[in-house]
Each structure stands twice: as C-alpha cells, then as structure tokens.
C-alpha cells in the first residue's frame, strides 16, 4: 500500500507491517522515512537489526539466510536491505519474490531502502508481492510551488514561526537541497528564542545560497513559464559547472516534444491522446505544464527555437561565434515566455 513520507509515522503507529519499501532520491525525506521505520520497530520491541548493503556482486543468498536464521536473543528482527543505487537484476528480483512468498512464516520486518522506482518496476512481480504485504513509501522532491509552505510547516518542528515571505526566500536559496534547508532552520532555532518570528531580514542576513538544480528542474520551470526562476536556475547550473551540451540537450528534447504534441493535435487528436503518444509517455502530473507551454508557444515559434538550438549546438562545437551561455539563457527564457539577453545583440544572433 502506498503511503507518502509525511503520513508514514501515522501509518506505522497503527500497525508495523512486515515490509516497508522506501524509494526515492531526495535524501532528507528518505533518511527520515527510514528512521521512522527503525523507531517503530524499537517501539514494537524489536532490538536486533541486520544490515545488508547491496554492493556490486552482492550475494542475494544472504537475504535468504538472514530470513531463515534464528536469533539467539530475540524472536523478531529488523532486516535492512540497502541498495545504494545498485539495481536488483534478475537474481535480486527473484530473491525478493521468494522472500515475499515466505512472509507468512516470518515475524521479521524488512526495510528496503532504494532509489526511485519507475512505473515499469512497480509492475514487477517482486514489487507487487511486497507492496501487497506492506507499505511503499515513494520519496519525491518537494515541488518548487509548495516548497515555501513546506518550509513554513517544517520550521514549526524547530520551534520557529516562519513568515511566508521568509519561507519563500529560504525556498529560493535552498531549492533542490532540503538537507541544507533543514540545517538553516536548525541554525536559526539555535540563534533565536523558542517561538520566535522569522522575517525575510533574518533569511537575508543569515542564510547563504545553497540551492541545487538539475536540467530537469530547468525544463519544468520553462514549461511552466516561470521566467525569474528560469534565470536563477540557469545561473545556478552554470555555477555548479553543468556543461552547456547537457543543458542544450534537455531544452532541445522539450522543444521536440512540444512540436510533436502540436503535430498530433493538428491531426485532430486530443491533448490527452497526444501526451500518451509521446515516448516516453507524458504522465498526468506533468501534463498541465505542457498544456501551459502549448498555449504560449505556437508551432512556428517552436520551429524558430529549434533552429536557434541548432546554432547553439554549432557554438558548442566551436563552429559559431554565438555567445554560448547567453544563448542558452536566451533559449530557456524564450521557452518560458520571456525576452532573452541576446535581444540587444545583432539580429544574426537573435532567435527572431
């Protein structure tokens, strides 16, 4: 059964299932979800813990042995299977399916800590069997539109009253890095009295820019038309040393997707059918962003942007004098509905 990370302690308080799968790439929530399972196990009287880190060439028989062995000191154990980014493979999938088949004869609790599970993996036999018997906790990054509210609620855990303006400013400075955001709240809690009201001035004066971005965050902001955020992300990626070809690849891929959506809809298909025709398919959660971008960018404009992206590719290869970083900013900002930096340069450099 699926349970989101913020509801996990409540679910564990009702019953401790034989299996909990914590899957995702966001470190803070992933760590806290695993800690919640450990705490629930201790509260249930489980003191013994076996940790199985899955490294390269991991012997999956160790899981079978751990499940079959009897403890001299306790009737129940917490078995932690830590995948650390490694894939299961056929052997691992088989071992987990066998473990699920033997759950009725075991009183142990299995905690699987792993990276993000895609839609195909969630349809596999091992996942279906374990999910039916226990809890699945997908850990997702907090969306930028919700981050300020998330931080305001989080501040209350540390005894702080975070004004919404301060929460939004902290969100800008720590986006994509919830560990840093929580650390800043902890520092503020040490410096300020309990229940103190945190204003934007405290954030300006005491919080460094710890935001972390990737190209997928960039394209999402472009699709949503978040022009100020797009500029901030472009500069952040540049500061982190993300290579221009990677940014260009991500932006070009979205341009081609938007053009494909236009073409399907021009042939009489509905927006929903056009999304399903994409490879990979555009899922429901992302469709509103694509719909916003289609309403803002006609096919003719997208073709111009794609031609400009081709010129940027030549600049990457040293075959064009186009200013590369300014050009990437121009491409992203125009995709978001803004006016790029190259608008002031000669017409041969402009998108048009």
Burial of 266 (0-12, 13-18, 19+ CB in 10 A): exposed
Provide the pairing of β-strand 48-53 with 161-162: unpaired
pLDDT of residue 252: 96
Average pLDDT over residues 45-55: 90
pLDDT at 116 over 80: yes
Secondary structure (DSSP) of 311-324: HHHHHHTT---S-H
CA distance 43 to 303: 60
Same domain, 45 and 97: yes
Is pLDDT above 90 for 205?
no
Same domain, 150 and 135: no
What CATH number corresponds to the domain at position 40?
Answer: 3.40.50.300
Please report which confidence band the pLDDT of residue 73 belongs to, taking 50, 70 and 90 as the band edges. low
Per-residue pLDDT, 327 = 92
Residues 78 and 117 in one domain: yes
8 A C-beta contact, residue 129 and residue 101: yes
CA–CA distance, 190 with 204 (Å, rounded to integer) = 17
Q: Which pLDDT band, with edges at 50, 70 and 90, does 85 fall under?
A: confident
- CATH code of the domain containing 195: 1.10.8.60
Q: What was the pLDDT predicted at 281? A: 85
- My answer on whether 157 and 255 are in the same domain is no
345 & 237 share domain = yes
Q: Are residues 51 and 92 in the same domain?
A: yes
Same domain, 170 and 55: no
The mean pLDDT value for 104-124 works out to 89
End of a domain among 187, 206, 225?
Answer: 206
Residue 70 has pLDDT above 80, yes or no: no
| Residue after which a domain boundary falls, among 139, 154, 188 | 139
pLDDT at 345: 41
Of 42-46, 113-117, 317-321, which gets the smallest average pLDDT? 317-321
Domain that holds residue 158: 144-206
Domain total of the chain: 3
Map tokens 């955020």 to a residue: 229
Mark whether 254 and 174 lie in a shared domain: no
Give the Cα separation of 260 and 3 in Å (integer). Answer: 35
Burial class, 18, CB count within 10 angstroms (exposed 0-12 / middle 13-18 / buried 19+): middle
- pLDDT value at 105 more than 80: no
Answer yes or no: do 18 and 77 share one domain: yes
Mean pLDDT of 122-147: 92
pLDDT the model gives residue 86: 67
pTM for the full predicted model: 0.75
- Largest distance between two CA atoms of the chain: 79
CATH number of the CATH domain containing 245: 1.20.272.10
281 and 323 belong to one structural domain:
yes
Q: Tell whether 23 and 43 lie within a shared domain.
A: yes
Calpha distance 322→317 (Å, rounded): 11
Q: Which of 96, 114, 139 is the last residue of a domain?
A: 139
Q: What is the pLDDT of residue 208?
A: 78
User: pLDDT for 235-256, tens place per residue?
Assistant: 999 988 999 999 999 999 999 9
Q: Is the pLDDT of residue 58 over 60?
A: yes
What are the pLDDT digits (tens) for 279-325? 888 988 889 999 999 999 999 999 999 999 999 999 999 888 888 89
User: Using CA atoms, how far apart are residues 144 and 217, in angstroms rounded to an integer?
Assistant: 9
């Amino acid at each position: 059964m699926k349970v989101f990370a913020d509801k996990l302690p409540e679910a564990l308080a009702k019953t401790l299932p034989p299996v909990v799968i914590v899957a995702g790439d966001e470190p803070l929530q992933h760590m806290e979800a695993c800690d919640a399972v450990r705490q629930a196990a201790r509260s249930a009287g489980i003191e013994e813990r076996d940790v199985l880190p899955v490294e390269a060439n991991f012997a999956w028989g160790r899981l079978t042995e751990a499940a079959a062995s009897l403890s001299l000191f306790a009737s129940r154990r917490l078995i932690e299977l830590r995948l650390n980014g490694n894939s299961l493979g056929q052997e691992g999938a088989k071992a987990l399916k066998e473990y699920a088949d033997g759950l009725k004869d075991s009183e142990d609790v299995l905690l699987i800590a792993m990276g993000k599970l895609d839609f195909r993996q969630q349809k596999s036999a091992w996942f279906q069997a374990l999910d039916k018997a226990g809890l699945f906790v997908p850990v997702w990054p907090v969306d930028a539109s919700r981050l300020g509210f998330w931080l305001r609620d989080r501040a209350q855990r540390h005894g702080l009253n975070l004004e919404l303006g301060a929460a939004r400013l902290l969100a800008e400075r720590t986006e994509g890095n919830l560990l840093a955001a929580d650390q800043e709240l902890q520092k503020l809690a040490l410096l300020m009295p309990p229940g103190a009201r945190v204003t934007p001035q405290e954030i300006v004066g005491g919080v460094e820019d710890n935001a972390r971005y990737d190209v997928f965050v960039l394209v999402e902001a472009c699709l949503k038309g978040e022009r100020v955020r797009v500029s901030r992300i472009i500069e952040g990626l540049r500061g982190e040393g993300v290579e221009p070809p990677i940014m260009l690849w991500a932006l070009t891929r979205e341009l081609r997707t938007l053009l494909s959506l236009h073409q399907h809809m021009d042939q009489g298909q509905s927006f929903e059918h056009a999304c399903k025709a994409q490879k990979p398919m555009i899922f429901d959660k992302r469709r509103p962003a694509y719909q916003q971008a289609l309403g803002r960018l006609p096919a003719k404009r997208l073709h111009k942007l794609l031609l400009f992206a081709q010129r940027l590719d030549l600049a990457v290869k040293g075959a064009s004098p186009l200013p590369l970083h300014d050009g990437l900013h121009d491409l992203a900002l125009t995709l978001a509905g803004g006016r790029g930096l190259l608008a002031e340069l000669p017409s041969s450099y402009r998108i048009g």
